[in-house]
Every structure is written in C-alpha cells, then in structure tokens.
With several copies, the nearest count.
Chain A
Amino acid sequence: MVSEALAEVLEEFEAIEDRTQRFELLFDLADDVTELPTDEWSEGNRVKGCQSQAHIDVRVEDGLVHLRGGADARIVQGLMGLLSLGMNGQTVDVARQVTLDIVEATGLLNSLTPSRSNGFRTMYDMVMSTMGEA
C-alpha cells in the first residue's frame, strides 16, 4: 500500500481530463517538496540525465525516509513532490511501494522509456538505491 497522500493525489490526477489542468496540479505538488537549499546542491546529489538542474537528497533515520530536493524546472520539482508524498516521512517499507508507474498515473508523460531524458527514472533510482543501502 502506498501512502494515503500519494494515493489521493493520483486519484485527483485521474479525475482531470484536461492536460493543462493536470500540469497545474503537478506545479502545486512542487510545494510539497522539503527544500534542499541550493548551497547543498552538489555533484553527488545531482539528478543526471535531467535537462534542467535538479538535486535530491535522501536519508533514512530511525527507519523513516527523509527526502529533500529542488529543481529549477517546476515540473521536475512537481515530480519530486509526487515522490515526497509517497516517501517523505514514511517507513522504508511504505516508501518502497512507490513504483515508476506513478508518473504514468499523472497522464503527463506518455511513456517513460529510459531514452526520454526526463530524469524521473534517475531520480527514482537514486532514492531506491539509497533506501536499499539503509
């Protein structure tokens, strides 16, 4: 089971017909990201393969996932918001339930092949591998 917050937002996406309105919702999600101050942006937490600047920092403390991030493109930060809803403050077990499909569910990226350098997959992989090490 994914977190309630994530499940709710995915339902919201599904209910919206209009692509522009869906982007509006995604833009709003950008505000749900716990900010990673730009002075902490480093090569190590950079999301490679992203056209825009994006950084993400994941820690696991006391079994809970702490996710912070930031991006110059609002859509990218919105996708981080989506991840945050499913992971930030959640147990590793719950966080792990989040799959790549959540982007599909927004209906905004028609398909998520590795070749589309949208960086979401990289972002996702960075988080999962950090949790794997925890």
Chain B
Amino acid sequence: MVDPADFPILSRTVHGNQPLVYLDNAATTQKPAVVIDAMDAYYRHSNANVHRAVHALAGEATDAYEACRATLRTWFNAERVVLTSGTTEAINLVAHGWGRAVLNEGDAIVLTEMEHHSDIVPWQMLAKERGIEVRYVPVLPDMTLDMEAYEASLEGAKLVCVVHTSNVLGVRNPVERIIERAHAVGARVLLDAAQGAPHTRIDVKALGADFLAVSAHKMLGPTGIGCLTITQAAFDEMQPFMGGGDMIEHVSLEGSTYQSNEHKFEAGTPRIAEAVGWKVAMDYLAEVDLEAEHERLLGIARWTAEQLRSLGCTVYGRHGDHDSAVVSFLHPGLHAEDFAHLLDAAGFAVRTGHHCAQPLLHRLGIDSTVRASFYLYNTMAEAEAFIERVTHVLARFGGNA
C-alpha cells in the first residue's frame, strides 16, 4: 500500500475533531503531495500557453503538456491519446467525433444496463437525433452482464459501449470476450474505464479496445482532465468535435483544414497545469504494485461486505477476483441518506444516492445505496473502524426506515 502520509488531506479532521476516513474513492481520489506540488511548481515557474510559441516558458509548458500524453500512451499502450476534461467528455467525443461520422439512421449500438449515465445519455441524445437503435444488455440477478443476450444483441451492431468496472457494484466485466465478440461482427468497442483504470493497468492493444475513456481525478490526478485512447484505425474514421484554436491547420473564410494528430480533437487552450499534475500522478502510480494492491483492497472489501451482511445489510456486488474494492449496501432499518449522514458525523466519507447509474439501480429494484469504496491509501484498520461505526449507527438508528 502507499503511505497515507503522502496525502496531506488524510490527516485532516471533519466536524470538529473527527479524523477523516475517506471511503468515497469511486467518486474521486485524493492527491499525493507530489501531484499538488507539481501543479504548484508549474504555475510558479513554467506557466505559459502551449504550442506555436518560441519563448522559453512556452517551450517548457508545451513539453510538460506533451509529456503527459506520452506517459499515458505508454501506460495504456495506446496508439492515440486525446486529452479531454474527463471520462464524460471522452465519451461525448466518441459520440460526436466518431458517432456522427460513422453512424446513420437504422444503425444499432449496444450498451449495457450497468453503464454510468455518462455512457448512456450521450448515446440516447445521438440516437434520438440520428434515428439509431440502442440495445441494452441486461444485468442478471448475480449482478453480471447477460452474455447470451449480449451475443444476441450484436447482429448488425456498429458499436459496443461497456463499463470496464461498475462504479456501483465493483463488478469487472469480461471485456476480453466482449471485445472479441464485437470485433467478430465488425463493431468497434468503447470501454468506460473511469473505475477500471485506477485499479489495474489496462493495455488497450492487448485488449483490442478501440476507445478507452478515463478520468485523472479517479486515479490520484487533478480535476478537469482525462483522456480517450483511440486506435489509429478508429482515429482515422473520426471527424472533429469542437472547433477552435490549436486543432486547425489552416482557416480561411471558405473553410478550414484540421491537424492530423491528436490536436485535432483538442480545441482551445488545453488543460496544461492539469496535464502536469496527471503525469506526476501516473509516475506515482507506476511505483505502486497494482496487482498486490488489488489483492489487498479486494480483501478489505470482501471482509467489509461480509461484516455488513452479518449486520443485516444487503450488499450489492459479488467481489469476484477481478472486481474492484467497492461495497454498495443498504439496511432495511435505515434510509441510505440517513446512513451516510450518520457515518459522516463520525468522519466517514461515503457516497449515497443513485451513483449516476439509475438504470442499474432500477434493475436491482432500488433507488439508492450507501457506497464505501477503497483505494491505495485505505487500510484494514479503517475498514474495522468503519464497521464499528456502522454497528453503532445501526444499534442506535437501525429501526427507522
């Protein structure tokens, strides 16, 4: 595990004197001091607008910005890496940049009921505008995708969009098989790896993922930045999304020509300080043994889930070998929102609500869960304290729903 002392925020208290126990990592992770310091240093020493300038600062800024792309390209083994403001913009970039260029009336795309709203709404919008058919792969009672239904849904599909790892259940989907089947019918595949990327090193070339969407803030990096990896073949099919500075080659009143590299999809002044911070976060992650961490965190999640069940909670998730350390639960005697307030009162930060996955919750027959999600700096001792608090809360308030 990483040293929690690397993360300044983890030593703070909330509500007066409650030490913070941060278990809302699926929403966003905390940042090590090296990441914060790098952005700080950028603004204190190298801040300038990038590209097309010859002065020293602009050169430093440009190199720093492009170094982030290079790091991500290596990390994900990707052919193309477009920097976006996050997973959501990355998916919208696929919808606008690839979808509008390739999909036509009557074409079908395949989503799943497990998707985050960010991987549903852009497609619903495009589908409505273009007359595209959207097929949803159901979630089975064991909280996995219905792979038979998936295979049946592929006929004539042009695109499959699937969440690598569910932000509600922690379930890691069989993306290898999903991609293989999709490619067999000539469909491209977009993986929403907002949750997957922080927990395991994803090799898009080995997987064959045409598109992979990621947010920096969920993997130790800053807010406001993320990326979309794209294979060269899919890249070549795309048209520009947003227009503006930096993405053009030449502009005249009659029309414009575009850059041929990733800049084509990065209109306007990019997220420079954010790229600086993210690169350092990736360097920090590179020092972590993610496989060992996966084991450790999964162990904590399994133990927590078991304890919660023994306290009368229903846990949504199965914590299989490749799932992430997310524990979603409900108690029949206490409303999720009340639960979260009472945990917060003692310093435990968890999330509650629909987690931007209403179709999934609808399928599960619920409208919210309490969600504790663990990351690199969390400890077994924190999980134990958490269960102690849950026990206390349920004893005192657990007959109130």
Contacts and interface: CB of A to CB of B under 8 A. Distances in A.
Nearest to A19: B345
Given A20-B346, A23-B345, A74-B338, A116 B396 contact: no
A27 B400 contact: yes
A23 B341 contact: yes
Nearest to A71: B335
A76 B341 contact: no
Contacts of B336: 73
B337 interface: yes
Interface in B320-371: 334-338, 341-342, 345-346, 352-353, 368
Instruction: Identify the interface centre among B51, B62, B337, B346: most chain A CB within 10 Å of its CB.
Output: B337
B136 interface: no
A24 interface: yes
B199 to A, nearest CB: 27
A52 B335 contact: yes
Contact of B335 (A73, A110, A115, A117): A73
Nearest to A111: B63
Interface string A70-99: 001111100000000000000000000000
A110 B56 contact: yes
A130 interface: no
Place the interface of chain B in its size category: 20 to 34
Contact of A73 (B59, B337, B345): B337
Place the interface of chain A in its size category: 20 to 34
Interface in B38-74: 51-52, 56, 59, 62-63, 65-66
Interface in B51-100: 51-52, 56, 59, 62-63, 65-66
Given A51-B52, A74-B400, A116 B346 contact: no
A38 interface: no
A94 to B, nearest CB: 30
Given A19-B15, A51-B368, A113 B397 contact: no
A110 B62 CA distance: 12
Nearest to A110: B59
B79 to A, nearest CB: 15
Interface of B: 15-16, 51-52, 56, 59, 62-63, 65-66, 334-338, 341-342, 345-346, 352-353, 368, 396-397, 400-401
Interface of A: 19-20, 23-24, 27, 51-52, 72-76, 108, 110-111, 113-117
12 contacts: A19-B15, A20-B345, A23-B345, A51-B52, A51-B337, A72-B335, A75-B335, A111-B59, A115-B62, A116-B59, A116-B63, A117-B52
